[in-house]
Chain A
Amino acid sequence: MQSPDLAGLFVSTPSAARRDRPRALARAALTAVALAFLGVVVVLPVLAVFAKALEDGVFAYLRAVVEADALAAMRLTLWIALLVVPANTVFGLAAGWAIGKFEFRGKTLLTSLIEVPFAVSPVISGLIFVLAVGPRSVLGGRLLESGIRVIFAWPGMALATAFVTFGYVARQVITLMETTGRDKEEAALVLGASGWQTFWRVSLPSIRWGLLYGVILCNARAMGEFGGVSVVSGHVRGMTNTLPLYVETLYDDYRFSASFAVASLLVFLAVVTLIAKVLVERKIKVP
């Protein structure tokens, strides 16, 4: 509640108030447009997912979620994330460190390569792997002969996921490393620290929240990846279906409410990711 005198302080003259009115109107209009758009594009579909998922009741929902094939899809999704996220974290740190702190030949090339997955459609990246290590390729043939199946099996899916998501951590780390500069590392060196001590005690702690942010985004993208994985998976139910692929399989089988029930799991994942993201963002802002 604002007292009249206080209000007088802020709106000092009638003309100022008049000038403010159109601005307030514009603000309200813009906010309304943004909210309406979000409502149509985000909120409604999410509500539709839950409505459809619970169409046949809570028990049907739960049954769909704990079905053997659904559990297998969850396991595979987690397994791939478990392989891909740490790998991309290490890669992202190494690339970010190199790009952010050093000058070397090919730096621009490396930076551009990191951007490639953002520019290329995931389906294309899936196809690249089919061509490179598929059964008909030289490398893929050799691997098959020695009993290693890459395409239409989890290794290929992990590769495709890794390709699609490898820029997320690297990008965050590069931005942070570039903005923090080299001063702190140099200070540590002059104080007698080794390169290793400098990394663990100075560089890594100062980017830890940004790194975590990148990891969260990378994980969300890895678990939700559809296009690239779809091409290399072969959709073997209970074998090479991740959650997003399984949603499609169910849908194609006309098991709509089961399909939406599994999709709702991905919505939960998204919500958890969002919350984690907001919490971490808050930490980053504190200098």
Chain B
Amino acid sequence: MTFEVRDISKRFGLYRALDSVSLRIARGELVALLGPSGCGKTTLLRILAGLEMADSGTVHFEGTDVTHTPAAARGVGLVFQHYALFEHMTVFDNVAFGLRVRGTPKAKIGPRVRELLARVRLDGYADRAPSQLSGGQRQRVALARALASEPKVMLLDEPFGALDAGVRHELRAWLRRLHDETHVTTVLVTHDREDAFELADRVAIMNEGRLEQVGPPADVFRRPATEWVMRFLGHVNEVPVHGSESSVFGYARPHELDLSRSPSDPPSFGARVRRVQAAGALVRVELEFDGNRSVVAEVDEGRFEALALQSGDSVFVSPRLVRVFDPQI
């Protein structure tokens, strides 16, 4: 039982939004489509919802081809980036909307809506207008509204995009718990690496209409498939690759760099400490080498104290792991 897009392509005029994208999502899974703006992730979500038609390729829900099924009949729940709440209705009516237009008997609507409001922790808010709610509350109304008609799959477009950092963090954890309770298959679109890594079972990284890499967060983080993914995930250092021309560089993350006072094995390179930032769980050391190149290393407090590093000191940097990618064609 899966949700699947096969070979989906979509153009808007000359702009290629999606270029033969295929993705399979298991039932109950939470998948994040991660990528910079304009990478096609929202278009893919809209194609799943039935709001956009692919130029080619097919969409399958649990074995049925729904490529040409209209949005209203697909049984998806969609939460828009700006929630798209019906401002002229109360919270209750918003959540009840999907049930009413589908002709659910009145007697069933009341209890179901109250149950959903309780689930999203908005018990006392049934009679409020959306304009009286905070951003986080509005998002929860949108979630309850989408969940009301028991969708086969939930689609969330930048669910935290419009929230400030504190609320964002809290809602992320809450959304994951909600997913663990409901087990509704969920696809969320985000440009935020933390959103994706913290929430998702699997992350699908997109760039210029193509899937760059799909996998569990840990895999994607440790073993980026391409140079682009490595750079996109951030925290990258370019370090010289040993045994090659000095112009060849590979990638290593700050915590993968060891520092010592003397040259060591595995091969190290000399650098000078530019700045030390000791506030945090790890100590951040900014280093420069080869004149104008710089790297950042993160070492734990014990190591930092043992080294007693100061700005201007000379050290040797030895990467535990260097990733070298074939030049992209």
A interface, CB within 8 angstroms of B? 183-184, 186-194, 197, 201-202, 205-206, 208, 286-287
Which of B29-37, B69-77, B227-235, B239-247 contacts its partner? B69-77
Residues from chain A with Cβ under 8 Å of B73 in the complex: 192
Q: Contact check, A190 vs B51: say whether CB atoms are below 8 A apart.
A: yes
Q: Contact check, B102 vs A192: say whether CB atoms are below 8 A apart.
A: yes
Please measure, in the bound complex, the distance between the C-alpha atom of A197 and the C-alpha atom of B72, giving whole angstroms.
Answer: 12
Produce 1/0 per residue, B59-82, CB < 8 A to A. 000000000001111101110101
Quick one: given A191-B98, A191-B145, are A205 and B71 in contact (CB under 8 Å)? no
Quick one: given A186-B51, A189-B51, A287-B131, are A194 and B84 in contact (CB under 8 Å)? no
Please measure, in the bound complex, the distance between the C-alpha atom of A263 and the C-alpha atom of B102, giving whole angstroms.
Answer: 55
Residues from chain B with Cβ under 8 Å of A193 in the complex: 72, 97, 101
Kindly name the residue among A187, A286, A287 whose own CB sees the greatest number of chain B CB atoms within 10 A. Answer: A187
Quick one: given A184-B84, A202-B86, are A190 and B101 in contact (CB under 8 Å)? no
Please measure, in the bound complex, the distance between the C-alpha atom of A202 and the C-alpha atom of B97, giving whole angstroms.
Answer: 10
Quick one: given A194-B101, A287-B131, are A189 and B72 in contact (CB under 8 Å)? yes
Residues from chain B with Cβ under 8 Å of A206 in the complex: 86-88
Q: Contact check, A205 vs B88: say whether CB atoms are below 8 A apart.
A: yes
Please measure, in the bound complex, the distance between the C-alpha atom of A278 and the C-alpha atom of B72, giving whole angstroms.
Answer: 39
Which partner residue on chain B sits nearest A193 by CB separation?
B101
Residues from chain B with Cβ under 8 Å of A192 in the complex: 72-73, 98, 101-102, 149
Residues from chain B with Cβ under 8 Å of A201 in the complex: 86, 97, 101
Residues from chain A with Cβ under 8 Å of B88 in the complex: 205-206, 208
Residues from chain B with Cβ under 8 Å of A187 in the complex: 78, 80, 84, 86, 145
Whether a CB of chain A sits under 8 angstroms from the CB of B319 is no
Q: Contact check, B101 vs A188: say whether CB atoms are below 8 A apart.
A: yes
Quick one: given A183-B82, A202-B86, are A191 and B97 in contact (CB under 8 Å)? yes
Residues from chain A with Cβ under 8 Å of B72 in the complex: 189-194
Excluding A190-B76, A197-B101, 15 further A-B contacts by CB distance (< 8 Å) are A184-B84, A184-B85, A186-B78, A188-B86, A188-B101, A190-B72, A190-B146, A191-B72, A192-B73, A192-B149, A201-B101, A205-B86, A206-B86, A208-B88, A287-B131
Which partner residue on chain B sits nearest A205 by CB separation?
B88
Q: Contact check, B80 vs A183: say whether CB atoms are below 8 A apart.
A: yes
CB<8 Å pairs between A and B, sample of 14: A186-B84, A187-B78, A187-B84, A187-B145, A188-B86, A189-B70, A189-B72, A191-B72, A191-B98, A193-B101, A201-B97, A201-B101, A206-B87, A286-B131
Please measure, in the bound complex, the distance between the C-alpha atom of A184 and the C-alpha atom of B87, giving whole angstroms.
Answer: 9
Please measure, in the bound complex, the distance between the C-alpha atom of A189 and the C-alpha atom of B51, giving whole angstroms.
Answer: 9
Residues from chain A with Cβ under 8 Å of B50 in the complex: 190
Please measure, in the bound complex, the distance between the C-alpha atom of A205 and the C-alpha atom of B78, giving whole angstroms.
Answer: 22
Whether a CB of chain A sits under 8 angstroms from the CB of B113 is no
Residues from chain B with Cβ under 8 Å of A186 in the complex: 51, 71, 78, 80, 84
Produce 1/0 per residue, B124-147, CB < 8 A to A. 000000010000000000000110
Residues from chain A with Cβ under 8 Å of B148 in the complex: 191
Please measure, in the bound complex, the distance between the C-alpha atom of A205 and the C-alpha atom of B86, giving whole angstroms.
Answer: 9
Please measure, in the bound complex, the distance between the C-alpha atom of A189 and the C-alpha atom of B97, giving whole angstroms.
Answer: 11
Total number of B residues with any Cβ neighbor in A under 8 Å? 28
Which partner residue on chain A sits nearest B81 by CB separation?
A183
Please measure, in the bound complex, the distance between the C-alpha atom of A187 and the C-alpha atom of B84, giving whole angstroms.
Answer: 7
Residues from chain A with Cβ under 8 Å of B102 in the complex: 192
Whether a CB of chain A sits under 8 angstroms from the CB of B49 is yes
Which partner residue on chain A sits nearest B74 by CB separation?
A190
Which of these, A183, A286, A287, contacts B84 with CB under 8 Å? A183
Q: Contact check, B77 vs A190: say whether CB atoms are below 8 A apart.
A: yes
Please measure, in the bound complex, the distance between the C-alpha atom of A23 and the C-alpha atom of B146, giving whole angstroms.
Answer: 54
Q: Contact check, B87 vs A287: say whether CB atoms are below 8 A apart.
A: yes
Q: Contact check, B49 vs A190: say whether CB atoms are below 8 A apart.
A: yes
Top 6 nearest A-B pairs by Cβ distance? Answer: A191-B98, A183-B84, A187-B84, A193-B101, A205-B88, A190-B78
Please measure, in the bound complex, the distance between the C-alpha atom of A77 and the C-alpha atom of B88, giving whole angstroms.
Answer: 35
Which partner residue on chain A sits nearest B89 by CB separation?
A205
Please measure, in the bound complex, the distance between the C-alpha atom of A170 and the C-alpha atom of B184, giving whole angstroms.
Answer: 43
Quote the shortest CB–CB distance from B213 to chain A (angstroms).
29
Quote the shortest CB–CB distance from B132 to chain A (angstroms).
10
Quote the shortest CB–CB distance from A150 to chain B (angstroms).
42
Quote the shortest CB–CB distance from A210 to chain B (angstroms).
12
Which partner residue on chain B sits nearest A195 by CB separation?
B72
Q: Contact check, B78 vs A184: say whether CB atoms are below 8 A apart.
A: no
Please measure, in the bound complex, the distance between the C-alpha atom of A253 and the C-alpha atom of B131, giving whole angstroms.
Answer: 59
Which partner residue on chain B sits nearest A202 by CB separation?
B86
Which partner residue on chain A sits nearest B52 by CB separation?
A186
Please measure, in the bound complex, the distance between the C-alpha atom of A189 and the C-alpha atom of B76, giving whole angstroms.
Answer: 10
Residues from chain A with Cβ under 8 Å of B149 in the complex: 191-192
Please measure, in the bound complex, the distance between the C-alpha atom of A197 and the C-alpha atom of B86, giving whole angstroms.
Answer: 13
Q: Contact check, B71 vs A189: say whether CB atoms are below 8 A apart.
A: yes
Please measure, in the bound complex, the distance between the C-alpha atom of A202 and the C-alpha atom of B85, giving whole angstroms.
Answer: 10
Please measure, in the bound complex, the distance between the C-alpha atom of A225 and the C-alpha atom of B149, giving whole angstroms.
Answer: 52
Please measure, in the bound complex, the distance between the C-alpha atom of A188 and the C-alpha atom of B98, giving whole angstroms.
Answer: 8
Residues from chain B with Cβ under 8 Å of A188 in the complex: 86, 97, 101
Quote the shortest CB–CB distance from B41 to chain A (angstroms).
17
Quote the shortest CB–CB distance from A185 to chain B (angstroms).
9
